[in-house]
Amino acid sequence: MIINRELCDICGSCVAVCPVDAISVSEFCVTINQDKCIECGNCQQICPARAISGAKK
């Protein structure tokens, strides 16, 4: 999964919906741990800024 940092407003919504805790948020950026991510697509669907892409489904 890919986060477009120019679109992301660091709202934190994606962190809560990740079933494997692959997303971490700091004051300045949001990061997806690609090794943990199972590409469920939850974060892509929840993101209000449409900043996440890359889900296969």
Cβ(44)–Cβ(53) below 8 Å = yes
Tell me phi and psi for residue 52, to 5 degrees. Answer: -110, 135
Residue 35 Cβ, how far from ligand SF4 at the closest point, in Å? 11
Residue 50 Cβ, how far from ligand SF4 at the closest point, in Å? 8
Residue 30 Cβ, how far from ligand SF4 at the closest point, in Å? 5
List of residues contacting ligand SF4 (CB under 6 A):
1, 3, 8-14, 17-18, 20, 22-23, 30, 32, 37-43, 46-47, 49, 51-52, 55
Alpha-carbon distance of 55 to 46, in angstroms, equals 12
